[in-house]
C-alpha cells in the first residue's frame, strides 16, 4: 500500500465538504498595481470627513454573495487599466449578514486595495420595494445606490457608481474627469429607446404623473443606472434620496412601473442628466430580463462592458454555454477553480 493514498482520499473528502458548505467563492490574489510616475502622491482617509481631495478617485459598488465574482472582476479591471491605481478608493456597500466574510474575501484577493466597507440598513427600503419582472431586481441592496450620499463621508464630493456585472477596459480617470456642469448626475443616455415602455399605462393615462417630466432642461431619455457619476454634495443639497423614496411610495400604491430601482431614477433625473459617451456603458450584454440571450456590441468605441440583463458571464462560462462576448470578461475572472486531485 502506498502511504500517499489515504492522504489523497482525505484531501478529496475535505475539498468536497468545503465545496458543499462554502458560502463564498475563492479567488486568486491579484498583483499589486502601482502608480505611474506622473501620478500625484496623495492619500485619503475616511477620517478626513470634510476634506475633498480632487486627486483621489472614488468608486462605489455593492457587495453580496451572489455577485461577488462579478465585483472582483470589476475591481480587477479598473486597477489593471488605471494609470494611478493607488489613487483609487473603493467604497463597498453590503449588508450585515455577510459583511465580515465579504471583507475577508476582498482583503485576501486585493491585499493592497484602498477600500472602505459600509453597512446598508435594509429597513430603509423595507415596505417600499415592489415586485418586478426579475427577482434579482427586488433585492434591497439593489436600492443602496439611492443612499450613497448618506452612507459615504461628507468629504467624498463625487462618486462613480458601478454595478457588479461589468468590466472597465479604459483608464477610469477619463470617466472621473467628466464635467457634470450644473447636473447632479452624469450617465450615457439612450434617446432612441422608447421611453414610454419604462412605465405602465396607468402612469401615462394620469395627467398628474405624465406631467412629471415637464419643465426639464431637455426631453427625458433612458439611461442605465449601472454606471453613474454623481455629485454627492449637490445630491445632499437637493435631497434627492427623499425624492426617489417618494416615487417608491407612489409605486406601491399605484403600480406605475415594472423595473425595480431604475424607474425612480428616470422619474427624478431623466431630462436633467449630463450625457456621456456611450463607450462608458456598453450595456445589455446579459440579454433581456427574461431570457438573457446573447447580444452583440453596440457600434462605436468601448471603454466599459456591462452584462446588464439576466445572463451573467460567470454563470454562462461555468455552465459551458458562454456567449461570444463573455470571452472579454473571462481574463478578469480571478475565481479559483477547485481541483479535487491536486495537493498544492
3-state helix, strand, coil in the chain (%, to 5): 40, 15, 50
Model pTM above 0.75:
yes
Write down the pLDDT at residue 344: 44
The rounded average pLDDT for each run of 10 residues, N- to C-terminus, in the chain (344 residues) is 46 44 82 95 75 90 96 98 97 94 97 96 90 73 97 95 98 97 97 94 95 94 97 98 97 90 96 97 92 91 96 96 97 84 46
Write down the pLDDT at residue 292: 86
Domain map (residue ranges) of the chain:
57-332
Write down the pLDDT at residue 260: 84
Span 247-260, pLDDT tens digits: 999 999 999 998 88
Q: Can you identify the CATH homologous superfamily of domain 57-332?
A: Spore Coat Polysaccharide Biosynthesis Protein SpsA; Chain A (3.90.550.10)
C-alpha–C-alpha distance, residues 163 and 261, integer Å: 13
Distance of CA 129 to the CA centre of its chain: 19
**266 CB-side CA count, 13 A:** 26
The Cα-based distances of 8 to 21, 337, 342 in angstroms read 20, 18, 9
Contact (Cβ atoms closer than 8 angstroms) between residue 27 and residue 335: yes
Span 72-103, pLDDT tens digits: 999 999 999 999 999 999 999 999 989 999 99
CB burial of 86-124 (b: ≥16 within 10 Å; e: otherwise) equals: bbbbbbbbbbeebbeebeebbeebbeebebbbbebebeb
Amino acid at each position: 500500500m502506498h502511504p500517499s493514498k489515504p492522504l489523497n482520499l482525505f484531501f478529496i473528502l475535505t475539498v468536497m465538504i468545503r465545496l458543499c458548505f462554502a458560502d463564498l467563492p475563492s479567488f486568486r490574489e491579484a498583483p499589486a498595481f502601482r502608480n505611474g510616475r506622473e501620478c500625484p502622491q496623495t492619500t485619503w482617509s475616511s477620517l478626513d470627513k470634510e476634506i475633498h481631495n480632487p486627486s483621489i478617485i472614488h468608486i462605489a459598488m455593492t457587495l453580496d454573495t451572489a455577485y461577488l465574482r462579478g465585483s472582483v472582476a470589476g475591481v480587477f479591471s479598473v486597477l489593471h487599466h488605471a494609470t494611478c491605481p493607488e489613487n483609487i478608493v473603493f467604497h463597498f456597500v453590503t449588508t450585515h449578514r455577510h459583511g465580515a466574510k465579504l471583507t475577508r474575501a476582498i482583503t485576501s484577493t486585493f491585499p493592497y486595495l484602498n477600500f472602505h466597507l459600509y453597512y446598508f440598513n435594509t429597513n430603509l427600503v423595507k415596505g417600499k420595494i415592489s415586485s418586478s419582472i426579475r427577482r434579482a431586481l427586488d433585492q434591497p441592496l439593489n436600492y443602496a445606490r439611492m443612499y450613497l450620499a448618506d452612507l459615504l463621508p461628507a468629504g467624498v464630493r463625487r462618486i462613480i457608481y458601478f454595478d457588479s456585472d461589468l468590466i472597465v477596459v479604459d483608464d477610469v480617470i477619463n470617466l472621473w474627469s467628466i464635467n457634470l456642469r450644473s447636473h447632479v448626475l452624469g450617465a450615457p443616455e439612450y434617446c432612441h429607446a422608447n421611453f414610454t415602455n419604462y412605465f405602465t399605462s396607468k402612469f401615462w393615462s394620469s395627467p398628474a404623473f405624465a406631467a412629471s417630466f415637464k419643465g426639464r432642461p431637455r426631453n427625458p431619455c433612458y439611461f442605465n443606472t449601472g454606471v453613474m457619476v454623481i455629485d454627492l454634495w449637490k445630491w445632499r443639497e437637493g435631497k434627492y434620496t427623499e425624492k426617489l423614496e417618494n416615487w417608491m411610495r407612489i409605486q406601491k400604491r399605484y403600480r406605475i412601473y415594472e423595473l425595480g430601482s431604475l424607474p425612480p431614477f428616470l422619474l427624478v433625473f431623466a431630462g436633467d442628466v449630463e450625457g456621456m459617451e456611450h463607450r462608458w456603458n456598453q450595456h445589455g450584454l446579459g440579454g433581456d430580463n427574461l431570457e438573457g440571450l446573447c447580444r452583440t456590441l453596440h457600434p462605436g468605441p468601448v471603454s466599459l462592458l456591462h452584462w446588464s440583463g439576466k445572463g451573467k458571464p460567470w454563470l454562462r462560462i461555468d455552465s459551458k454555454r458562454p456567449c461570444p462576448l463573455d470571452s472579454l470578461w473571462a481574463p478578469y475572472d480571478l475565481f479559483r477553480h477547485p481541483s479535487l486531485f491536486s495537493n498544492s
